[in-house]
Structure 1
Amino acid sequence: MVSTAFIIGTLVVFEQLSCIRSKDLGFRKDRTMPMPIWFQSRKVHIANPDQDLRFRHREVKAQFEQHSNILGSTSNRFYQGALVANGVFQAEGSTENMRIGYTDVDEDFVAFFGLQLLAGRALRYEDLADQEEKGRALMINESAMRRFGWSDPGSGSPPIRSERS
């Protein structure tokens, strides 16, 4: 019985990994080079916080973009198609807490990956810089839109980050 469960579990994981490898993720993996600055930088932060690259990403990007072979760059907390953080959000007027995956990105993310927006606009640096005062700027995908009960892109109010996050 246990061995049957392991075999079935192995097959399910194999199928999921095959799907991830073959699925169109919406960007050209062969033309991007992820660099694990976020997680490597956490180790530096403890010893020397002013050298933490997570909080100097614009400076790092400017240095990369000086190289003639770099056509563009963006900052993203996680690798594309990999794990994301989870937070608890509520649609305005709802008491239902929904656990939704998210990632932190910069103002160049939409253009870099060539994403098509159904409504609204890409983030601007001013949105990101003012987040302490005004709250976090958000863009959501179609799955989140449906979970919030919105049928029309741009029709709902921004989701609220729950205190339970």
Structure 2
Amino acid sequence: MMPFYQLTATRLQGQLIPMADYAGKVVLVVNTASHCGFTPQYAGLEGLYKKYGARGLVVLGFPCNQFGKQEPGNTDDIAQTCHINYGVSFPMFGKVEVNGADTHPVFQYLKNALPGVLGGRIKWNFTKFLIGRDGKPLRRFAPMTPPEKMEAAILAAL
């Protein structure tokens, strides 16, 4: 079993979810923020999820407050921004840290597998990691990469 599938994370509503629940799917993991210049990417991520979900794509959003304090809210605030303002229906998880001593294990694993230009650190909100159906990390996308520009890589993985 791939290491990704051995990890767990807590959903925004509080349920502990094993990443093994997503085995056999193409997974896009994104660290998100509700008050970021890239926050409108929620709409593009939701568009990809709706367009390719039936073919096996799942988007997993992980709110993070480490960059410019752009995710200051509580669970209800995050849910409102995601669901009401952007119509997000893909799974959202509880707030996590993506850098430093308290980095969530999902991001520890993904940063080790796909280190990026900062030598393993995440630069900003909306860094995206594409994971194949077998749980193998395939590609990392920069925060400024709009979801629509990832479509070819997602299609190749599907």
**TM-score (normalizing by structure 1):** 0.28
Q: Whose Rg is larger?
A: 1
More helix by share: 1
- Which structure has more relative contact order (CA 8 Å, sep 6+)? It is 2
More strand by share: 2
**TM-score (normalizing by structure 2):** 0.29
